[in-house]
Chain A
Amino acid sequence: MHELSICGSIADIVTRRAAGRAVKVINVRVGQLRQVVPDTLVYCWELVSADTPLAGSRISIEAVPARIRCRSCDQVTDVGAIPVFACGGCGGFDAEVVSGEEFLITSLELAGEVASS
């Protein structure tokens, strides 16, 4: 749903970091709690990058599961597909999210030749 505007932000970052070089792959790390639908992001990227110097590049997504660490017993628990933010050890709810909120461009893979446009 908001993948379209996210692709706009991605295009800004990639354009700046590529500095005119042709990009083949944009590696994106997405946490489970980021509510980004991978297929939608990939599709929206085709729309947003079309007719730009980034046309033909694709987004590759590295998914990161959500995990919490209990502040009482220190156990790390997977949040799971049906999310429950309770400790798998003691059942406590006082926990911090240790992974799953990532959303960043990790790297670009360049085509090895200068973009023509």
Chain B
Amino acid sequence: MGRFHRHDDGTVHAHDAGHEQEHAGDRAHAAGDHSGYATGGERVEVLERIFAENDKTAAANRAEFAAAGVRVVNLMSSPGAGKTTLLGETLARLAGQVRVGIIEGDIETSLDADRLAGFGAEVALINTGNGFGGECHLDAPMVRSALPRLPLGDLDLVLIENVGNLVCPAEFDVGEDARAMVYAITEGEEKPLKYPVMFRSCRLVVVNKVDLLPYLGFDMDGFLGNLRKVNPVAEVMLVSARTGEGVDAWCDWLRAVAVSPRPGGLPSRGAWPA
């Protein structure tokens, strides 16, 4: 049987199957008076956000980036969308103009960091392996652990290459100024609808591998329509990291981020840099 109790508004009900629907949107629930109606032990109100600890560390990261005058972009994608290839092309173009640091999330290896090491940027690797097969995302404490290995005061821009995954990285604020996605046309048109949280959280979606457009039958208009359904304001760039098409526009965006005033507020949504 359920556990009956009474709310301030007089409703009495059981905590059991069906409870979820009853409480959908019930803002008063948290303040309900449960005293005297619990059939077992005591009930303790908690009302603590589960990401509070992560977000506290993210705020500390953000403050440290601000103090150093460095801008930070959290770069996310599926595995194999082309983040590392794009970053290599990016570092080659920005060399001597923008001082870039990379925070590289990788479950087990240093393969990506090794690929980027030749481009003259400072690279701090975070291996997320932890005995459970590795984390599927970077969180704020992981990024914090990498900060002592980057000379923040000597940098203009930090690019965080998150773990390849369209779900988990979207949930964790790491202290970035902006989020960007690399999306490969090989992933199909429907992914914005399947992973709306990721697509909604980004200011910019870099649509990569457009050199393959003649071979794939990819419906670009369909993809952009799906993207607009979940994120009407994201900027979109068509890029091929392999041929270099569109990479200059992406680099211009990064240059603008590196010199623009900090956006303030949450790292997600809306056009930025201005």
Decide if B42 touches A110 in the complex (CB within 8 Å).
yes
By size class, the interface of chain A is 35 or more
Contact A35 B25 (CB under 8 A): no
Q: Which of A33-86 contact B (CB under 8 A)?
A: 33-35, 60-65, 67, 82-86
Q: Which residues of A contact B232 (CB under 8 A)?
A: 85, 93-94
Contact of B136 among A1, A67, A83, A99 (CB under 8 A): A1
Q: Contacts of B20 on A, CB cut-off 8 Å?
A: 61-63
On whether the beta carbons of B44 and A110 are closer than 8 Å, the reply is yes
Q: Are A111 and B41 in contact (CB under 8 A)?
A: yes
**Contacting residues, chain B, for A22 (C-beta < 8 A):** 41
In the assembled complex, the Cα of A2 lies from the Cα of B137 at a distance in Å of: 8
Contacts of A1 in B (CB 8 A): 136, 165, 167-168
- B53 and A34 form a contact (CB under 8 A): no
Do B44 and A33 have beta carbons less than 8 Å apart? no
Which residues on the B side are within 8 Å of A5 (C-beta)?
135, 137, 139
Interchain CB contact (< 8 A) of B230 among A25, A83, A107: A83
Given known A-B contacts A33-B196, A63-B20, A84-B230, A103 and B41 have beta carbons under 8 A apart? no
Q: How far is the CB of B269 from chain A (nearest CB, A)?
A: 10
Most chain A CB within a 10 A radius of its CB, from B46, B53, B137, B193: B46
Judging by beta carbons under 8 Å apart, are B136 and A2 in contact? yes
Cβ-defined partner of A62 (8 Å) among B3, B23, B43, B135: B23
By a CB distance below 8 angstroms, the chain B residues around A60 are: 15, 19
Inter-chain contact A110/B47, CB cutoff 8 Å = no
* Residues A9 and B53 in contact, CB atoms below 8 Å apart: yes
Q: Are B48 and A13 in contact (CB under 8 A)?
A: yes
Q: Are B51 and A105 neighbours in the complex by a CB distance under 8 Å?
A: no
In chain A between 82 and 117, which residues have their CB closer than 8 angstroms to a CB of chain B?
A: 82-86, 93-94, 99, 103-113
Within 8 A of A (CB), among B156-211: 165, 167-168, 170-172, 193, 196-197, 200
Min CB distance B268 to A, Å, is: 11
**Chain A residues, CB < 8 A from B274:** none
Contacts of B47 in A (CB 8 A): 104-107
Asked if A86 and B135 sit within 8 Å, CB to CB, the answer is no
Distance of A43 Cα from B40 Cα, bound (Å): 24
- B109-156 with Cβ < 8 A to chain A: 132, 135-137, 139
- Contact A109 B229, CB 8 Å, known A35-B197, A83-B196: no
With both chains docked as a complex, state the minimum distance between the C-beta of A92 and any C-beta of chain B, in angstroms: 9
Q: Please indicate the chain A residues that have their CB under 8 angstroms from the CB of B25 in the complex.
A: 64-65, 67, 99
**Selected A-B contacts with CB under 8 Å, 25 pairs:** A1-B165, A2-B137, A2-B172, A4-B132, A5-B139, A9-B54, A17-B48, A22-B41, A33-B196, A35-B170, A61-B20, A65-B25, A83-B229, A83-B230, A84-B229, A85-B230, A103-B49, A104-B46, A104-B50, A105-B48, A106-B46, A109-B40, A109-B44, A110-B43, A111-B40
The 4 closest A-B pairs by CB, nearest first: A112-B41, A93-B232, A2-B168, A110-B41
